[in-house]
Structure 1
Amino acid sequence: MGKSRTKRFKRPQFSPTGDCQAEAAAANGTDPEEDDGPAAELLEKLQHPSAEVRECACAGLARLVQQRPALPGLARRDAVRRLGPLLLDPSLAVRETAAGALRNLSACGGFEVCDDMVTKDVMTPLVALLKEVLSCVLFHLILGAVLFGSTGLDSNEMSPQEKKDQNRNSIENIANEAVNVLWNICECSSRAVSIFNKEGCLEIVLKYLSRFSTNVDLAISVAYCLQTVTEDNPELLKSFSAPALHVLESAMLSPVSSMEYILLKTLVAGTIWNLKDIIPSKSQAEIINAILKILSEVLEMDAGETVIQMKETETQRIKTAAQTEDTLQNVNGDDLIEDDEMEEIPHRRKVRRKTFISDLLPIFEKTAFPNSIAVDVCSRNPSWKPLIRKMSTIQCRALVCLQSLVSLLDVDHLGGPAALQTLAQHLSQLLFSQPDFAKHVDFLEAISSALRALLQTVASKNIPQCMTPDQLLTLCRAGVHSSNVGVRVNVVSILGITGSVLAKEDGTLDTLKTIGCFLLEVATKDPSLVVAGEALDALFDVFADGKEAERASVQIKLLSALKEFQPVFKMKIRKEGRAKYSPDQLCVLDNVKMNLRRFVAYQETVEKRLTT
C-alpha cells in the first residue's frame, strides 16, 4: 500500500498495429483525440455484437496499454468504463481478454492510472466477476459452451469431457486475471483497499487460495494480493477468522518444494507476518518457527545455479524437440514445414520479490557477486538478460539485510569478534574486486550501509579494524561524488567512525588531517544539508578527543573554517529547511546546529591551549 513497485510489463519495442499513433500524432503536432489511431478503433469494437470481434479488440488493447504514449488517449476515451462491463460479458473468452487488458493497464499505468480506474468504478464489475466465478453462477455459460461450442471451438474437435476441462481452465484463467487486477489496484489505491474491506473480498480470495493444490498459479496471485492488502490495514485484520488463518497455514505448510510452491509459501509467510497482531499468543512461537523455516529454504537456493539448471533444461528440451522432429521426418518421409510463429517461447512468470529479514537466516552467501557462469549464460540470451539485474538485486537486498542484523544483534549472536573481522574482509573483497563499483549506485548504497553498520559495531566493542584507512578513503572519495544522497551520508559516516578510532591511537596525525580536510570539504560544499550535517557530526566525533586529533585540528585550521561556515549553515537551514526537508530531518539539523556551536567553543579552548 503506497509503495513504488517494479513494472511487470515492459513496453514493447514496436506496436503490433504499426507506428505508435500517439507518438506520431505528437510529432506531427496533431491533436491525439482527432487522430484516428488504433485506440479509437479498438474501443469502438468493444461494443460489436460478435464475441470474436470483442475478444480481438480486448487483446489489441492489452498490447496497446503497454505503450505509455497511448495511455492519455485511452483515458480521454474512457477505456476503463468501456472495458469494465466486459468483465461480465456472456463470452468467457471476452471476459478473460478484458481482464487481461485491465491487468496490463493497472500494471503499466502506475498510481495515477490505478486511482483513476477506481474513480471510473472498475471495482464494481471486478468484485462481481470474482463473486460470480466463485459461486459457479457461470455454470450455465459452461453448459452452453459445452453444448454449442460458444467459446469458438468446433464441437466436432473435442469430446464433451475435453470441452468441460477447457472451460474449467478458462474460468480459472479469468479468476487469475481478475485477482491480478485487484492486486495491482489495491497496491496503488487506498480507496480500492477500502472497497476490498467493505465488499468482503477477503472471503472470496481465500477460497481461491484454498485450491492451491489444484491451481498454484491462481494461489500465487491471491497470495501477492493478500500480502498487499494486509499491510497496515487494521480494519481487514478484524475479518480474519480461525478458518481463514487455517487456509493460510495449510498453504504455508504444504510439503511440495517446487519453485512455484516455494514462492507461494514465501508470500503466505509474508501475509501471516502482517497478521502477527491477531495470531493467538500460544501459536505465535510455532508460526514464527514455520516462517523462519520457509525463509531459510528460500535463502538456501542459489540463483546462479538455478539459472544454469534452467539453461540446461531448455537446451535439453530443444534437443528433444529436434530429435522428435527428425523422427517424424523419417517416419513420414516428407520435410516438415517450419513456421516461425510456432517456435516455442518458454513461459516465465514475471514476479516481484519481497525481502524478509531474520536473525537466524544464512544471508551471508547472498551478498557475494552473482555466479559468473550464470551471468555469462544470461548475457548470451537477450530474453534472459533481465535475470542479471535480478541477481544483482538479490545481492543488494542481502547487504541491506546484513546491515540490519549487524545493527540490531549483539556481537555474540553475530559469531563474536572473529566473525565480524571475517565479514569486514568479505565486504572489502566485494567492494575492491569491482574496479567500477562507484558506477553501480544500488550496490554502492547497499554495501556502504553494511560497512557503516559493521564499523560502528566494531568500534563500539573496541574490536580491531580490518580495513585500512586508505581503503576506506578510496571508498569515500568515490562515494562522495555519487548522485545518491544515501551513499554520501554513508561514506562520511564511515570516515567519522574510522577517524574517531584513529584519534585514540598514536602516530595517526597525517591520516587524521586527511580525514579532517575531506570531511570539512564535504560539510561546506555538498548541496544537501543532510549530507553536510552528517559530515559535521563526523567532524565532531573525530576531533572530540585525543592528542593526535587536537594537533590535527589546529594544523588544518578547523576552528577558523567552522567559524566561517557556521552562519552559512544557519542561513541554509532557515532558507531551505521547510521547503526541502522533512520534520525529522529538520530536527536532526537543529541538533547539528546546536552541537556546532558547542564544538566551536570547545575548539577555541583546544587551540588556545596548544598555541600558548
Structure 2
Amino acid sequence: MGKIRKPRPGRAKRNEPVEDTSQEEEIPIDSKENAIQTVMDQLQAPNVEEKYCGLQTLALLIEDPSNVPQIIEQGLVKVAAPLLLDAASSVRNAAAGMLRNMSAVSMEICDSMVDQDAMTPLTCYFHEHTETWTPDSSSKTNTEDIDTFVQCINLLLNVCESSEIAIKYVGQTKILDILPRYLDLSVFGNYVVTAVLQCLIVVIEDNPIAMEKIKTNAERQLTILLSLEGNEPSMLLVKTLSAGVIINACSGNIASLPVDVINQIISILATTLGVDHRLACNQISSNVPLSNAAGKVEPPTGKEAQILDNQIKAILDILDAQQSAIEIITNICSCEDNDGDDNDNAQGDDSSESDEMEDDQNQCMNENCTVLAEDRLPPQVLEALISLQLFEKVWARTQVPAQNVLLILKEYEGSQLIHKKVHTLQTRSLLCINNMLSALPAEALGGVSGLYKMWTEAGKLVFTENEDNVNLSESATAVMRAALDKMKLNENGNAGDGSFFKDLRIRECLVPEIRSNLLRMLGSLALLLVTNLNETNTDTVLVQAITQFILEQAHKENDVWVLAEAVDTIIDLYSEDETDVIAAKEDLVQKLTILLPVLKLKARQQKKLPKKYKVLVSTALTNLPRFIKYKRDRVSKVSLD
C-alpha cells in the first residue's frame, strides 16, 4: 500500500526485528569468520541443542546489520532455512525468528535470501504445518507454535514486499488457499489474524492470481472482520487491515465495490484516524520509567510491567492501524489509478456511474478542456472523504508529540518502537497529503488560506527538523509543491495577488539557518515559475509576490550573511533576460540600489563570521553592484505600456 508514483520498494517495512527473549548467554568468539564457521557446523549437527544454539548465535550476529552481508556470502541461509521444517518446535521457532529478523535488515538482503532458496522451505512449512493446525492451549508448545507461525508470516511478507520472484512463488503454491482459514478471530486471535492480514495486503497487491484466490477463499471472512463491533486499538487494526485487503483484491479500484461497502470502509478509516495518537503518546510517556542519577533505566516488574506492556501494545496497534489507513487513502487519491480500464470492473449502478464519469472526461478531452485530478476521483468516494473530514484527520497525523515526550519514549527500550513508528506515520501522512491535495477540490481544503497554512506548516518541517531526515524533508517538500500548485489553480487559474506570502514571519524564527533556507526555497519556487512565463501567465503574480517578500525580509534581516543569501537569491531569480518585464514592474533596480548600502554597512559591522559565511557576503558585495548595472541597462529598454 501507499503508492506515491514510486515502485513497490517505496513502502516502509512494518515488520521490525523482534527482540531475542532467550536467556542464552552470548558465546565468546575469536573472530567473525570463526563464529560463522562455528554456526555453520552447529546448524548441520544432528542434535537439537546444537542446532538451537547455532540459531541463537546467528540471531546475535545479525543484530549488527554489518554482519549480514558476510553471513549471506557464506551461504548460511541455505543451511538455516530448512530448519523451518525441523521436528523440534524450538528449532523451528528459533529459525523463523532469526530469518524474519534477517529479512527486516534491507530489501537487498531479502533478494539474497530468495536467491539462496529460502522460499522452498518456507513454502513447505506452510504446507506441512499449517493446513490443519489450530492453537491448542493444552499443548506445551502452543505459544511457541503460534509465534513460529507469525514469524513465518512476517518473513513471507518481507520477502514478497521486496521480490517479485517471491510473489510469483506464492502464487504457484497453496499458501493463499491456506491463509484465509487464519482469519477466524475467534479461533486464532488478534496476533495471528493481524499478521495474516498484513501479509495478504502485500502479497495480493498488483497480483491478479492472488486477487482471485482471496476473492474466492476469503470474501466471507473479510466481510465479517470489516463488520466487527468495538473500537479498541486491536479491533481498529484488524478492521483497517481488512479494508486494505478488500481494496487490493479489487485491483485497488474502490469504486468497483458496492456503495455501502465504500461508505463502511471510509467510515472505518475515519474512526481509525480519529484517535489522537499524540495524546496516547503523552499518556504513555507518564508511565514509562525514566533514567536514574546513574543514567540507567530500571524497567518495571511484575504486574506493573504487564500493564505497561499492554499500554505500549495498544499504542503500537493504533500507529499500525493509522499507517495502514493512511496508505489506503494515499492509493485512493492516487488519481492515476482511478481512471482507465479499472472502471470496467465496477458492478451494477457503480459501473454506470463510472462509465458516465469516463464519458464526461472523454467529452472534455475532445473539447480541449482540462480534466482536473479532483474530477477523476469517483463521486461517491469524494463525497465520503469530504463528509468524514479525512483530509483534516490525515493532516493531524503529520504532527508529532512534543519533543520531551519523544525523548522519553526513545530513552526507554520498551517504547523505542513507538518513537520510530510516530515518525514513520508523519512521513507517510505527508505523502498522503500530497496525493489528497491533487484529488480534492480547493474548497474542501480550506481555500487559499487553508492551502497557505499547509504550505507554511510543511515549510516548518523542512527547515526545523534534522536535515539528515531525508524522507521527511522530501515528503514535506512534496506537500509544499502540491499546495503551491493548488493555489495557482484556485479560482479557475487566478492565483490572486500572492498576499498569502505576506503573513510568513521568517523573523520569528530565531535560527538564521532556517531563515536562510526558507528564503532560498522561495527563490527556487519563483525560479521554477519563471521558466514558463509569458504575458498572460498568472505565475507572474506569484513571482512578483515572492520578490516583494524576499526584499522586505532582506531589509528587516539582522544577520548579514542571511541578507547576502537573500541578495544572491534575487540575483539568481532575475539573471535571465525573460525577467526584465517583471523587474521593471517591481522597480527592482531601484530597490536593490537602496539595499546595497545596507548590505555594505552590515558587512562592516559583522566582520567576525565563519569562513563559509564570509565568502557568501563577499560574493554578494561583489555581484550586487554588477547586477544592478546590468539589469538597469536591460530594464531601461522595457516598455510597460
Q: Shorter-normalised TM-score: what interval?
A: 0.5 to 0.7
Partner of 1:3: 10
| Alignment match of 2:87 (pick from 71, 86, 90) | 90
- CA change 1:473–1:406 in 2 (3 A) is farther
Matched, 1:112 2:119: no
Q: Contact conserved, 2:212 with 2:249, CA < 8 A, in 1?
A: no
Partner of 1:170: 144
| Alignment match of 1:493 (pick from 525, 533, 537) | 525
Partner of 1:451: 480
Partner of 1:569: none
State the secondary structure of the residue aligned to 1:128: helix
- CA change 1:249–1:113 in 2 (3 A) is same
Bigger drift between 297-306 and 356-365 goes to: 356-365
Aligned length: 492
Bigger drift between 177-186 and 464-473 goes to: 464-473
Q: Contact conserved, 2:211 with 2:248, CA < 8 A, in 1?
A: no
Counterpart CA distance in 2 for 1:112 and 1:418 is: 44
Counterpart CA distance in 2 for 1:274 and 1:180 is: 19
**Structure 1 gap segments, 5+ residues each:** 23-31, 143-160, 325-341, 525-535, 558-602
Counterpart CA distance in 2 for 1:495 and 1:278 is: 37
Q: Contact conserved, 1:517 with 1:556, CA < 8 A, in 2?
A: no
Partner of 2:206: 232
Counterpart CA distance in 2 for 1:292 and 1:266 is: 10
State the shift of 1:299 in Å.
1.4
1:402-446, CA deviations, whole angstroms, 9 ceiling, x for partnerless residues?
333333322222244554466567667x569x8677676544444
State the shift of 1:544 in Å.
6.6
State the shift of 1:8 in Å.
1.9
1:252-331 correspondence to structure 2 within 5 Å: 252-277=226-251, 283-311=257-285, 321=302
Counterpart CA distance in 2 for 1:243 and 1:83 is: 32
State the secondary structure of the residue aligned to 2:17: coil
Counterpart CA distance in 2 for 1:437 and 1:76 is: 35
Letter in structure 2 aligned against 1:224 = Q
State the secondary structure of the residue aligned to 2:188: coil
State the secondary structure of the residue aligned to 2:275: coil
| Alignment match of 2:44 (pick from 40, 43, 47) | 47
Partner of 2:563: none
1:282-312, CA deviations, whole angstroms, 9 ceiling, x for partnerless residues?
7332332222122212211222222233345
**Structure 2 gap segments, 5+ residues each:** 1-7, 290-297, 334-384, 530-537, 555-565, 594-631
Matched, 1:411 2:442: yes
Q: Contact conserved, 1:103 with 1:180, CA < 8 A, in 2?
A: yes
Partner of 1:467: 501
State the shift of 1:221 in Å.
1.7
Letter in structure 1 aligned against 2:27 = T
TM-score by length of 1: 0.66
1:191-239, CA deviations, whole angstroms, 9 ceiling, x for partnerless residues?
1111011113212222223347632112222222112122222332233
Letter in structure 2 aligned against 1:410 = P
- CA change 1:436–1:93 in 2 (3 A) is closer
Q: Say what the alpha-carbon RMSD is for the aligned residues.
A: 4.9
1:147-166 correspondence to structure 2 within 5 Å: 164-166=138-140
Partner of 1:70: 67
% same residue: 21
State the secondary structure of the residue aligned to 2:441: coil
Letter in structure 1 aligned against 2:279 = E
Counterpart CA distance in 1 for 2:581 and 2:174 is: 60
Partner of 2:367: none
State the shift of 1:186 in Å.
1.0
Counterpart CA distance in 2 for 1:247 and 1:236 is: 16
Counterpart CA distance in 1 for 2:131 and 2:35 is: 37
1:198-597 correspondence to structure 2 within 5 Å: 198-211=172-185, 214-277=188-251, 283-311=257-285, 321=302, 353-354=323-324, 355-356=326-327, 357=329, 359-360=385-386, 361=390, 362-372=393-403, 374-375=405-406, 377-378=408-409, 380-381=411-412, 383-385=414-416, 387-417=418-448, 419-420=450-451, 423=454, 430=460, 441-461=470-490, 462-463=495-496, 465-468=499-502, 471=505, 492-493=524-525, 500-501=540-541, 508=548, 511=551, 518=569, 521=572, 548-549=585-586, 551-552=587-588
Letter in structure 2 aligned against 1:455 = L
Bigger drift between 511-520 and 385-394 goes to: 511-520
Partner of 1:21: 31
- CA change 1:364–1:509 in 2 (3 A) is closer
Q: Contact conserved, 1:304 with 1:374, CA < 8 A, in 2?
A: no
State the secondary structure of the residue aligned to 1:255: coil
Q: Contact conserved, 2:17 with 2:100, CA < 8 A, in 1?
A: no
Q: Contact conserved, 2:583 with 2:635, CA < 8 A, in 1?
A: no
State the shift of 1:95 in Å.
1.3
Bigger drift between 197-206 and 70-79 goes to: 70-79
Counterpart CA distance in 2 for 1:506 and 1:373 is: 36
State the secondary structure of the residue aligned to 1:199: coil
Partner of 1:586: none
Counterpart CA distance in 1 for 2:551 and 2:412 is: 48
1:109-162, CA deviations, whole angstroms, 9 ceiling, x for partnerless residues?
x233322322322222211111222233x79xx9xxxxxxxxxxxxxxxxxx86
Counterpart CA distance in 2 for 1:487 and 1:124 is: 56
State the shift of 1:278 in Å.
8.3
Matched, 1:132 2:128: yes
1:437-494, CA deviations, whole angstroms, 9 ceiling, x for partnerless residues?
7676544444443333333333443456333287579999968988xxx998886126
Q: Contact conserved, 1:230 with 1:237, CA < 8 A, in 2?
A: yes
Letter in structure 1 aligned against 2:406 = V
- CA change 1:471–1:496 in 2 (3 A) is farther
Counterpart CA distance in 2 for 1:452 and 1:276 is: 31
Partner of 2:353: none
Letter in structure 1 aligned against 2:54 = A
State the secondary structure of the residue aligned to 1:368: coil
- CA change 1:44–1:489 in 2 (3 A) is farther
Q: Contact conserved, 1:126 with 1:178, CA < 8 A, in 2?
A: yes
TM-score by length of 2: 0.63
